[in-house]
Amino acid sequence: MEYSIKVSNLVKKYGSFIAVDGISFEVKKGEIFGFLGPNGAGKTTTVHTLTTIIEKTSGDAFVAGYDVSKYKEQVRDRIGIVFQDPSLDDRLTGYENLDFHAMVYGLAKGEREERISELLDMVELKDKANLLISKYSGGMRRRLEIARGLLNRPEVLFLDEPTIGLDVQTRRHILDYVKSLKEKYNMTVLITTHYIEEADYICDRVAIIDKGKIVVCDTPKNLKKGLEGDVIIAKLHNKDNAMKLANKINKEHIAKSTKISNNILYTYVKDASSILPKFMNIASKEGISIENIEMRNPSLEDVFIHYTGKSIRDEEGSGNESMREIVMRRMR
């Protein structure tokens, strides 16, 4: 099997702070591979290492067959990247932005014009080519950045949070463009995201990354299937009630496992319809009032909660994670 990315025991430290903690994974040629995790989990640091922007501390990493530390130029010639932060020049038009970067890649004028025309068509911005970037919407900017990342016809495209800050409809539009790249060019794509539904929709395989470590990696279907059964989700008045109910349920052995996220109790069971009456009876006996309850098949969010012990939204809002991100930004 041909791999576009091979990583083994990759570590990146900033002083005593470990941003990436010994991760290993492989990405097959033509695969859309996702890193799912909150801000500060190590996603961007990994991308920056694989794209030769920063140097790894230890471990091995190969992109398009080249060691990212020893053959930086060869790697750069074979990759495209869309950064998390906007990086277009607002003083230039869409066409001028693409033309400038095509010149940086060393493309001759005729080849530049041909590729720019093709890419503007693909991202449906040909009629906006001569408009200043300052006049572009957020979705238009992202589409142009993807076009820019494809100017050198890369073997591997890195997309670091490509839909952050966009509305749901525009996000889906961007993801559909990415899917079309795989179908049209058999391109390998590594995408980072903290949107659960985004990873589920677009990725062939997903690696859940938390605090610098990959905790699980598989197809979205297999990850959900691995939980084997249903999940009962109960919203209680406070976290203390959730913990009290979880402890009682665990003692009664009616669930495979329980997880708590703030005041929400996730109970993983073999068959929710048969367990729900017992669940409600336990809550009633303990005098615990349930504000809302639902049962469903496991989602990718349930997978994240199962392996990390908290929801990705909790991670996004936690003070610890915010500080982690601040430390990483200051040290870059």
User: Which tens digits make up the pLDDT trace of 78-135?
Assistant: 999 988 887 899 999 999 999 999 998 888 999 999 999 988 988 889 999 999 999 9
Q: How many residues does the chain have?
A: 332
Domain ranges, residue 94: 3-222
| Residue 204 sits in the same domain as residue 261 | no
- Whether 271 is covered by a domain: the verdict is yes
pLDDT > 70? residue 323: no
Q: What is the pTM of this model?
A: 0.84
Residues linked to residue 205 through DSSP beta bridges, in sequence order:
33
| Residue 68 sits in the same domain as residue 142 | yes
| Residue 276 sits in the same domain as residue 169 | no
| Residue 49 sits in the same domain as residue 188 | yes
Separation between Cα atoms, residue 308 and residue 261, nearest integer Å: 11
For 263-280, letters b (16+ CB in 10 Å) and e give bbbbbbbeebeebbeebe
Cα R_g (the chain), whole angstroms: 23
Residue where one domain finishes, among candidates 170, 196, 222: 222
| Residue 205 sits in the same domain as residue 241 | no
User: Which tens digits make up the pLDDT trace of 296-318?
Assistant: 998 999 899 888 887 776 555 44
| Residue 286 sits in the same domain as residue 180 | no
Write the CB contacts of 64 (distance below 8 Å, at least 6 apart in sequence): 4, 74, 75, 78, 79, 155, 156
Contact 54, 45 (CB under 8 A): yes
| Residue 142 sits in the same domain as residue 77 | yes
- Whether 161 is covered by a domain: the verdict is yes
Residue where one domain finishes, among candidates 175, 201, 222: 222
pLDDT > 60? residue 331: no
| Residue 9 sits in the same domain as residue 121 | yes
- The tally of domains found in the chain comes to 2
- Whether 139 is covered by a domain: the verdict is yes
For residue 150 the two structure tokens come to: 């494809």
DSSP helix/strand/coil, 25: strand
- Whether 290 is covered by a domain: the verdict is yes
Rounded to 5°, the CA angle 207-223-79 comes to: 30
Contact 61, 7 (CB under 8 A): yes
Residue where one domain finishes, among candidates 201, 222, 243: 222
- Whether 130 is covered by a domain: the verdict is yes
Which CATH number is 282's domain given?
3.30.70.790
User: Which tens digits make up the pLDDT trace of 141-197?
Assistant: 988 998 898 898 899 999 999 888 788 888 888 899 889 888 888 899 999 999 999
pLDDT > 50? residue 31: yes
- Whether 322 is covered by a domain: the verdict is no
- Whether 306 is covered by a domain: the verdict is no
Closest CA to 187 of 33, 25, 8: 33
Average pLDDT, the chain: 89
- Whether 302 is covered by a domain: the verdict is no
| Residue 112 sits in the same domain as residue 257 | no
| Residue 28 sits in the same domain as residue 61 | yes
Which CATH number is 89's domain given?
3.40.50.300
Per-residue pLDDT at 173: 84
| Residue 19 sits in the same domain as residue 42 | yes
Count CB-CB contacts under 10 A for residue 257: 14
User: Which tens digits make up the pLDDT trace of 183-211?
Assistant: 888 899 999 999 999 999 999 999 999 99
| Residue 235 sits in the same domain as residue 199 | no
